[in-house]
Amino acid sequence: MKLSAFGRKFAGSSGISELMDDLGAALNDNPDLLFMGGGNPGRIDAVQAIFARRLSDMLDDADRRHELLGLYQAPQGDLAFRRELATYLRKHQGWDLGPEHIAIANGSQSAFFLLYNLFAGPMGDGSQRRIHLPLSPEYVGYRDIGLGEEFFSAAAPRIERLEDGLFKYHLQLRSQGLDDDVAALCISRPSNPTGNVIGDDEVHELDCLARQHDVPLIIDGAYGLPFPGLVYAEAAPFWNDNTVLMLSLSKLGLPGARTGIVIARPDIAQAFSRANTVVSLACGTLGPRLLNGMLSDGSLQDLCSTVIQPYYRERRDLAVDLIRSRRGDLPVHLHRPEGAFFLWVWCEGLPMDSRELYRRLKERGVIVLPGNDFFIGTDPDWIHRQECLRISYAGDRETIEAGLKLTMDELHRAYRS
Ligand SMILES: Cc1ncc(COP(=O)(O)O)c(C=O)c1O
């Protein structure tokens, strides 16, 4: 089989696909594994009940059912939803935008694929451009996204040690003289994998840097602002006409609806939709229709602030307490959990690679993710890359309690070995 550079990424085994295969096999062998590895949102009954009712209302009405199931959407996505979202963002954020700034996608993952490849890769003049990640570790779903090779450049963070065994990653903007081949900057806010939320001042600095280099700043807001708002620190939503804000309905509890949202200057939104038409023809109607009216009547914001955010906050506190109470004198530090639903655990001086720790934990029936693959574009010899774990606290309390007990026990063993 002869394959392009892109095809070759998937023919062999790369770190992450090998890990995913391994995870799938482990779950097949033992469906009772304590799973704290994935990006699945929590199962929140009150949220599911609301969307179930809305869905059943639509299915009971012949015209709405036809609109939901029987029609292709316009290429840029459901106009009523784009209007409602634009009105909401104008009113609550004061952003100067209309429906022409918004494009819908079948999940933000596929939107990233198109957007990144619109900006970076081989250029018309034979040169090559890259997406720059100003703070790596970053979302592992970006890793194999480039149609071309050497698709990313990245900067490692400055590590600030805080009290109570916490630490925080910061941008090292001063040292980031961007190369001429940078096509766009991208940051997840809140961060998957670390739960970091870069501060408003840092976002403004990134915005300035992007403008100086005449490239867009892409903010991946899958967990963030303005919805679902899984942010437990002071942080404001950010957008302007040099920003591409990527949102998703997945972490609201609707990953099955596959709905991503691109908010960008109209020329970018339009180029995106045209590319999306080639790939998908049209976008799914389910996500936009399920949300219909929930932005304008305030019920989405209420659901986020009274149900979804408290759910994750409570689990975050439970997970942090469990780790603290079992840490003893181990040099195990937690990234300050400011958003999303992951704990990022730095096991300083771990006497083995975190992949080995992952294997040992899997043997004992718990799945967490080794940190190595998230460090896209950073120095492979940086020892910190091998010392981190990502642990999801989105699941039920019993899983969190049992999974973290085993994890901490295994960590004590690992440091003794
Ligand atoms: C940071 C981040 N961005 C984007 C995505 C893609 O989400 P979706 O395609 O479900 O919108 C995910 C999924 O976990 C994510 O964690």
SS3 readout for 226-265: CCCCCECCCCCCCCCCCEEEEEECHHHCCHHHCCEEEECC
Hey, which of 16, 112, 139 would you mutate to test ligand 1's pocket, going by the most ligand atoms within 8 Å of its Cβ? 139
Which residue has the CA at smallest separation from atom 16 of ligand 1? 192
Distance 138 CA to ligand 1 centre (A): 12
In the chain the domains, ranked by start, together with CATH numbers, are 5-46+302-416 (3.90.1150.10), 75-297 (3.40.640.10)
Cis amide linkage into residue 310, ω under 30° from 0? no
User: In 3-state terms, what secondary structure has residue 291?
Assistant: helix
Q: What angle do CA 255, 260, 266 make, to 5 degrees?
A: 175
Count Cα neighbours of 262 within 13 Å in the Cβ-side half-sphere: 36
The CA distance from 282 to 112, in Å, is 16
Closest among 321, 306, 409 to 361, alpha carbons compared: 409
> Which residues lie closer than 8 Å to 204 by C-beta, 6 or more apart?
none
Q: Is the distance from CB of 415 to CB of 191 less than 8 angstroms?
A: no
Residues pairing with 130 in the sheet? 182
Closest among 217, 242, 221 to 231, alpha carbons compared: 221
Ligand 1 within 6 A of 188 CB? Answer: yes
The CA distance from 273 to 106, in Å, is 11
> Which backbone phi and psi does 2 adopt, to 5 degrees?
-95, 130
Looking from the CA of residue 250, the nearest atom of ligand 1 is: 10
The CA distance from 68 to 287, in Å, is 10
User: In 3-state terms, what secondary structure has residue 17?
Assistant: helix
Distance 381 CA to ligand 1 centre (A): 28
> Which residues lie closer than 8 Å to 339 by C-beta, 6 or more apart?
189, 190, 191, 195, 196, 197, 223, 224, 230, 231, 232, 233, 235
The CA distance from 417 to 409, in Å, is 13
pLDDT of residue 382: 96
DSSP 339: B
Residue with tokens 């316009």, as numbered in its chain: 74
pLDDT tens for each residue of the chain, 417 residues long: 888 888 888 887 666 677 778 778 888 888 889 999 989 999 999 999 999 999 999 999 999 999 999 999 888 999 999 999 999 999 999 999 999 999 999 999 999 999 999 999 999 899 999 999 999 999 999 999 999 888 999 999 999 999 999 999 999 977 666 888 999 999 999 999 999 999 999 999 999 999 999 999 999 999 999 999 999 999 999 999 999 999 999 999 999 999 999 999 999 999 999 999 999 999 999 999 999 999 999 999 999 999 999 999 999 999 999 999 999 999 999 999 999 999 999 999 999 999 999 999 999 999 999 999 999 999 999 999 999 999 999 999 999 999 999 999 999 999 998
Distance 125 CA to ligand 1 centre (A): 32
Looking from the CA of residue 109, the nearest atom of ligand 1 is: 9
Which residue has the CA at smallest separation from atom 14 of ligand 1? 39
Residue 414: its H or E element:
helix 397-416
Ligand 1 within 6 A of 139 CB? Answer: yes
Q: How far is CA 298 from the centre of its chain?
A: 25
DSSP 157: P
Which residue has the CA at smallest separation from atom 5 of ligand 1? 109
The CA distance from 70 to 28, in Å, is 36
> Which backbone phi and psi does 135 adopt, to 5 degrees?
-145, 95
The CA distance from 209 to 223, in Å, is 24
Ligand 1 within 6 A of 260 CB? Answer: yes
Distance 222 CA to ligand 1 centre (A): 6
The CA distance from 40 to 37, in Å, is 9
Structure token digits, residue 192: 């998957």
Q: How far is CA 172 from the centre of its chain?
A: 21
pLDDT of residue 15: 61
Ligand 1 within 6 A of 141 CB? Answer: yes
Q: What angle do CA 59, 48, 79 make, to 5 degrees?
A: 55
The CA distance from 246 to 131, in Å, is 15
Residues pairing with 347 in the sheet? 332
Confidence (pTM): 0.96
Q: Is the distance from CB of 144 to CB of 15 less than 8 angstroms?
A: no
Ligand 1 within 6 A of 222 CB? Answer: yes
Residues pairing with 176 in the sheet? none
Looking from the CA of residue 223, the nearest atom of ligand 1 is: 1
pLDDT of residue 175: 67
